[in-house]
Structure 1
């Protein structure tokens, strides 16, 4: 049950319920906002046009259809669609902002939104093409199903459920936008028809709830990836017998995050054996600094998400009894920190790839070349490293800052953009690619332990057992891509 608008779980699947006291508060705000509108003063997007047409006053008849029309004319996106998980995060992000009261929407619309979230369906929201100040295009797709417009991603149904697919035959005029990802069905008729009232259409399109919701989901995944990066790095440190001096507590002076990371590495890597050399390769020695930086950036993004949901993002927002035009749609805070985390992931992936290369080198490990049982007749894991190199190169291309390009739209009314929607999309892709690289290093760490005969440290035994549960022992060359897929599906 959501009692206050500070609670958000974009990845959760439990039905959402709203506390009666919260709904009463929303109803009071709505009643006050409607009284304010009775004055007839111009309110952007309510009794005026939008963007460069905000100078146009709307008649009473035009206002009655205007809010729904706002959703129709801006749903210009298409596939690829967001995943159901991300689409749900967008809806919960929208709900989160509504519960501040700034949007002054009706309890009916809030309940319609909750019903959509709880239905198991998610809107078909374009992953790309949000070229506007804010998120008007993707939000038009997200909000359309609330009033019977647009398309929904279909959850699993019984065979006789009547669901339609993007490739199946459909009646003329009811064609689904093509998409390779799965099934779509028309939103018409899913929920009882809801008629938008004053201010509710523009409220559905306002702010950056999509980037905030998706970023909240991404942060949870980054914490998971950071933990796996730490564990795999500790495994590499342990299996090569790296000198542990770089992870001494005294070397983290003045940096609590780094000190915590050093402690994790020491605990997971286990007791230090006689080191193989005075200094391990740099990719081993900097593991603590690299992963600590990733954790810092994740926390900064988490803080930015919190600011996005606590701050004023609606425009016009209903504040202190009046409608106020704001710039809360300018998602520079989210865009900048999404970019920061993407860059931190790219660096962590590069370091992981470098460690993987060293794990294949007998000079670093004292093991057989390329971790092959029989070097020469067998190639070992050399191609696994090549895949990591290609993936790292792909990841680097995501690190271009998203907010450095401005473009004018709406005849110059919107002359600056941050592309926060694209920034969080880049982050989602960076997470996916980093997981691939971690899988490559993890496979090499497991093989190195198998070849070395070294005891697996207690802190890593659960992780290595999880690997062994899905990856058979490597005694000869085989299609290692299948092993990596199993690791990504079941372990990482």
Structure 2
């Protein structure tokens, strides 16, 4: 895949293992910017982290000899993290996000450094990056782990094992400003959020279909899904239309009003869609905005605050809250699906109530998962603490925020799988025809979940749904 600009790097490159190549024109542009950076550095004017120390030691000027090893040393002591490591796909997202930001030219790094990043991506290896413990104004701890392997420092993940990075990539020596450029900004949170946005868009489609299945199988009154109820909110109107299309009409509702957890499906899922869209916009701002510091913009070095990822953190927090609410509402629907008064079906969706327990423990699992999700919903950006002798006196905790989001997405998928299993069994017991809009989904379920005619370890069924469908 030939890359000619930062914009050419997309989420598809995270998900694909196809080799990357930087175009000759792009390499030329990077070399031109690099030459301008070196010329500006030759004046000897103080440039943070290049000819000065870092953080509280930024007032200390470095000698020429000290500068020659400083960029390499920046990746040493800052690698203070440890296991558990990011999953390989998240680690790859971090590396691609860093490359994407370097290709804007703000960092002024050499084309050779960008080529070294490409070599890492094409190697099939990923750095061992700690999933937590980034308690600084930016991401220096995880980024030191992420990019130390470029110069033989730290560890890589290979075949599920952690291996030393030394000797795994071509030998490379960092030039002026290249070490600090690898540690600057918030590429880690941006790349990881980028990946979660892609997963969340897939999840929200399943949320709509699974909830529509619950609506259809209990014969809920369709009034709450009338698109006219979305007046003033185009996104809500669209979600109501999707729900109604999937659930189909109901000529003889079981009651005038279904339980609230069924009636509010449109509002709940619309909010999830809204939150995913806003996070996606924040990710785009993270990629096109100035996050390097010092950044080389307008022909000079400018100290920036682009490392403060409050935009990403706040929108991750918002999506976590929306997912937590969606999971709680889904869990409530599962409980109602077990209730003969709501469904007209056998108690607990058991083929033989009494001798069999049915899906009651599937609901209990969803309850525990939703409770865990609720505990994750506290805003990550709240609780700043001082570091670096007061030089860094606040943080946004964007790295932690996106980690919480990844866990929230995982847990919401789990609850959705539980509800999907209940919907599948309810249709099987009700003998209701499956609406056309749900036939594809429930057909996929039937391929991985055998008919439930007696109690069995339903955790196996949930695992199959998570692996193949949700």
**After TM superposition, is the score higher than 0.5?**
yes
Give 1:13-412 correspondences, 5 Å limit. 13-155=17-159, 182-412=160-390
SS of structure 1 residue aligned to 2:301 = strand
In the TM superposition, structure 1's runs of 4+ consecutive aligned residues that sit over 4 Å from their partners are none
Moved more, 263-272 or 73-82: 263-272
* 1:460 CA displacement: 1.0
Q: Residue 414 of structure 2: SS of its match in structure 1?
A: helix
Spell out, residue by residue over 1:337-363, the C-alpha distance to the aligned partner (whole angstroms, 9 max, x if none): 000000100000000000000000001
Q: What's the CA shift for 1:273?
A: 3.1
- Report the Cα offset of residue 14 of structure 1: 2.4
* Counterpart secondary structure, 2:22: coil
CA distance in 2, matches of 1:470, 1:310: 43
Q: Which SS does the other structure have where 1:379 is aligned? A: coil
Residues 11-53 of structure 1: CA distance to partner in whole angstroms, max 9, x if unpaired? 3332222222122111110000000000000000000000011
Q: Which structure 2 segments of 5+ residues have no match?
A: none
Partner of 1:2: 3
- Find the residue that maps to 2:296 and give its secondary structure: strand
**In 1, Cα distance between equivalents of 2:408 and 2:70:** 39
Residue-pair matches, total: 466
Q: Distance in 2 between matches of 1:224 and 1:361?
A: 30
Give the deviation of 1:184 after TM superposition. 1.1
Matches of 1:438 and 1:404, distance apart in 2: 29
Match of residue 474 from structure 1: 452
CA distance in 1: counterparts of 2:346 and 2:171, whole angstroms: 68
CA distance in 2, matches of 1:481, 1:435: 14
Partner of 1:12: 16
Structure 2: how far apart are the matches of 1:338 and 1:353? Answer: 22
Q: Residues of 2 paired with 1:273 and 1:363: CA distance?
A: 19
Alpha-carbon displacement from aligned partner over 1:215-235 (angstroms, at most 9, x marks no partner) = 000001111110000000000
In the TM superposition, residue 8 of structure 1 has moved relative to its aligned partner by: 2.1
In 2: Cα distance, 1:299 partner to 1:375 partner = 44
Does the 8 Å CA contact 2:222/2:249 hold for their aligned counterparts? no
Supply the distance in 1 between the matched residues of 2:51 and 2:203 (Cα, whole angstroms).
Answer: 48
